[in-house]
């Protein structure tokens, strides 16, 4: 079974600017892969090479074993694509857009069913060049879903969508994945990737600086949890006592007077029990786990 | 999977569906019809030769303009505005896109000229004139080739540029150079060749061939051979006694060349470019 996406040592230069720098990446069939990076990090360049809009300066890209440059049509036959920077066809309604996509992909069916699925049935017979960004995004997403593609390529899929629309799209992504589709989507919004992706790749300045599961990335960047505890009374000795617990990395009194403890996930309860043994009442407790944002800052700073 | 015919069908629908498309098609067809309406009032026994004589001066500008305007936005406009991004995310090759657009717009041009010429010919024929079918076919074929050549040049320009403004400038440059200026330059060529002692009094045949390789002169040569053979010119066509390469047949071949070369050249550039 060939991987859904196989990228081998791919570089893309525009003049003296290197947009993608020696990227290796394998996305297995059935995965939801989140492709994370700031604007201009090289995500869209990478996706545009998958679609053969632009050609790599070096290296090869394959989708289900089809070279994206030499056999681009075969590669795209198995893809459903929500690209970046598209425009709607002049004078065609939403329904006609889906109709044309169906003809192009050789898919039969009722366009309204697809428009229904993304919730723009009401606008089906309006000219699509008058759609809002969010509606256009839903329409093209509907076109991408046609014909049950084996691989969904979604470039910034939730841009222009309101929170409800973004949630609906995430649910559709999960549904499609359960059907068996591999999903490759890019975003600079971390929560969206966190919510659906099995694995994450982080692009920075054209390089793929990390590829891992979200948990794996967390572990790699230090799997600590931070506890912010509001207590009624304690002494420096108590703080030292907490700091001495195995698994606690740091314990100190913060500027706001709260006890701040950095520890591994498993040590949380030990800290609370220790406070209880010292007759210190816990009035309030707040825990923060490192978000993908923290990981992202950590990784992009390091490279 | 479905390829260029789907693209071509959409092109035809798009041209017939847009207001500017309909307007252009209507105007061009109307000129052919009006010609057929007026010619019988100026001649007592009108034929296609009279029709040709009446319309040629207008068509030498109108048909290239129609072809170029129909072609020059074909690819670049969708490239700039992002529809091409959508089309190429479907399983189409770039050849499918270019071929589909060329065929679709070619059919629109052929349909317009055919309907216009046939309607014009009917008006010439009835009630007092005569239209020989072979002359009509020659006239229709020559005019269609002439239009298709400029359509192909327009689409060729459309595939090699990445900005709409550059495409527009190039298109009008081509129109001015090839349609307006070039046919008037034979005098200057003659003077230049005389200065070089390569000619005296009139252009040598090879120079007539080179100068006459322009589509609008080729079109005239074809018409002078097959439609209006009685009015022999000294310029583009030297009559049936001239060398074979200045006859109508090779001119038809050259017009085909003007259709194929810009398309192929434009496509080869388009195929390897980053969008």
A5, A151, A171, A274, B100 from B1: Cα distances, Å = 21, 17, 30, 68, 14
Q: What pLDDT does B58 receive? A: 93
State the DSSP string of A248-264.
EEEEEE-TTS-EEEEEE
* Tens-digit pLDDT profile for residues A219-246: 766 667 788 888 877 777 888 888 888 8
Considering chain B, what is the average pLDDT of its residues?
89
**How many other C-beta atoms can be found within 10 angstroms of the C-beta atom of residue B188?**
9
CB contact under 8 A, A89 and B1: no
Q: What pLDDT does A258 receive? A: 83
- Tell me, what's the ipTM? 0.83
Whether the per-residue pLDDT at B232 is higher than 70: the answer is: no
Give the confidence band of B241 by pLDDT, cuts at 50, 70, 90: low
Q: What pLDDT does A302 receive? A: 63
Q: Is B19 on the interface with A (CB under 8 A)?
A: no
- Which of B19, B85, B92, B97 to mutate against chain A (most A CBs within 10 Å)? B85
Q: Is B88 on the interface with A (CB under 8 A)?
A: yes
* Tens-digit pLDDT profile for residues A128-164: 989 999 999 999 999 999 999 999 999 999 888 888 8
* Tens-digit pLDDT profile for residues B198-228: 877 778 888 888 888 899 999 988 998 888 8
**How many other C-beta atoms can be found within 10 angstroms of the C-beta atom of residue A230?**
14
Q: Is B21 on the interface with A (CB under 8 A)?
A: no
- Which of A87, A128, A157 to mutate against chain B (most B CBs within 10 Å)? A87
A259 phi and psi angles, rounded to 5 deg: -85, 125
Whether the per-residue pLDDT at B184 is higher than 60: the answer is: yes
Q: Is A95 on the interface with B (CB under 8 A)?
A: no
Q: How far apart are CA A47 and CA A187, in angstroms?
A: 12
Whether the per-residue pLDDT at B237 is higher than 90: the answer is: no
Partners of A13 in beta bridges: A18
Q: How far apart are CA A75 and CA A65, in angstroms?
A: 8
* Tens-digit pLDDT profile for residues B89-137: 999 999 999 999 999 999 999 999 999 999 999 998 887 888 889 999 9
* Tens-digit pLDDT profile for residues B152-182: 999 999 999 999 999 999 999 999 999 999 8
Whole-prediction pTM: 0.85
Q: Is B91 on the interface with A (CB under 8 A)?
A: yes
Contacts of A74 (CB under 8 A, 6+ apart): A66, B91
């Amino acid at each position: 079974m060939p991987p859904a996406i196989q990228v081998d040592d791919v570089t893309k230069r525009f003049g003296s600017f290197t947009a993608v720098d020696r990227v290796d990446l394998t996305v297995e069939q059935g995965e939801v892969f989140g492709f994370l990076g700031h604007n201009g990090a090289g995500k869209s360049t990478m996706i545009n090479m998958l679609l053969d809009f632009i050609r790599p300066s070096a290296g090869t890209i394959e989708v289900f074993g089809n070279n994206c440059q030499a056999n681009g049509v075969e590669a795209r036959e198995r893809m459903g694509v929500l690209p970046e920077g598209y425009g709607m066809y002049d004078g065609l309604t939403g329904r006609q857009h889906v109709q044309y996509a169906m003809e192009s992909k050789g898919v039969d069916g009722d366009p309204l069913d697809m428009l229904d699925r993304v919730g723009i049935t009401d606008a089906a017979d309006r000219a699509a060049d008058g759609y809002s960004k969010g509606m256009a995004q839903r329409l093209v997403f509907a076109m991408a879903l046609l014909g049950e593609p084996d691989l969904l390529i979604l470039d910034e899929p939730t841009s222009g969508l309101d929170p409800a629309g973004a949630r609906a799209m995430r649910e559709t992504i999960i549904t499609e994945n359960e059907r068996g589709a591999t999903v490759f989507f890019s975003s600079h919004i971390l929560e969206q990737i966190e919510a659906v992706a099995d694995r994450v790749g982080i692009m920075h300045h054209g390089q793929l600086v990390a590829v891992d599961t979200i948990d794996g990335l967390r572990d790699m960047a230090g799997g600590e949890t931070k506890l912010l505890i509001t207590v009624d009374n304690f002494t420096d000795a108590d703080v030292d006592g907490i700091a001495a617990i195995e698994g606690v990395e740091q314990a100190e009194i913060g500027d706001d007077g709260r006890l701040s403890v950095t520890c591994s996930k498993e040590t949380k309860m030990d800290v609370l029990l220790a406070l209880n043994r010292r007759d210190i009442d816990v009035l309030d407790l707040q825990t923060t786990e490192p978000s993908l944002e923290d990981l992202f800052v950590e990784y992009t700073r390091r490279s | 999977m479905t390829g260029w015919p789907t693209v071509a069908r959409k092109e035809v629908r798009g041209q017939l569906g847009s207001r500017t498309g309909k307007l252009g098609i209507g105007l061009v067809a109307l000129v052919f019809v009006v010609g057929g309406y007026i010619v019988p009032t100026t001649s007592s026994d009108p034929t296609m030769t009279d029709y040709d004589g009446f319309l040629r001066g207008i068509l030498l500008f109108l048909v290239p303009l129609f072809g170029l305007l129909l072609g020059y936005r074909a690819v670049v406009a969708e490239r700039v505005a992002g529809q091409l991004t959508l089309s190429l995310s479907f399983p189409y090759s770039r050849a499918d896109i270019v071929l589909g657009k060329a065929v679709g717009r070619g059919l629109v041009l052929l349909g317009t000229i055919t309907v216009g010429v046939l309607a014009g010919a009917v008006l010439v024929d009835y009630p007092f004139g005569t239209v020989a079918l072979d002359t009509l076919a020659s006239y229709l074929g020559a005019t269609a080739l002439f239009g298709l050549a400029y359509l192909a040049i327009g689409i060729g320009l459309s595939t090699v540029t990445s900005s709409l403004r550059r495409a527009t400038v190039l298109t009008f440059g081509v129109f001015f150079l090839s349609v307006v200026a070039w046919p008037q330059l034979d005098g200057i060529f003659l003077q230049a060749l005389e200065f070089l002692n390569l000619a005296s009094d009139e252009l040598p045949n090879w120079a007539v061939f080179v100068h006459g390789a322009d589509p609008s002169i080729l079109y005239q040569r074809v018409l002078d051979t097959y439609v209006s053979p009685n009015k022999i010119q000294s310029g583009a066509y030297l009559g049936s006694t001239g060398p074979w390469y200045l006859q109508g047949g090779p001119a038809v071949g050259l017009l085909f060349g003007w259709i194929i070369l810009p398309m192929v050249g434009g496509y080869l550039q388009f195929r390897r470019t980053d969008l």
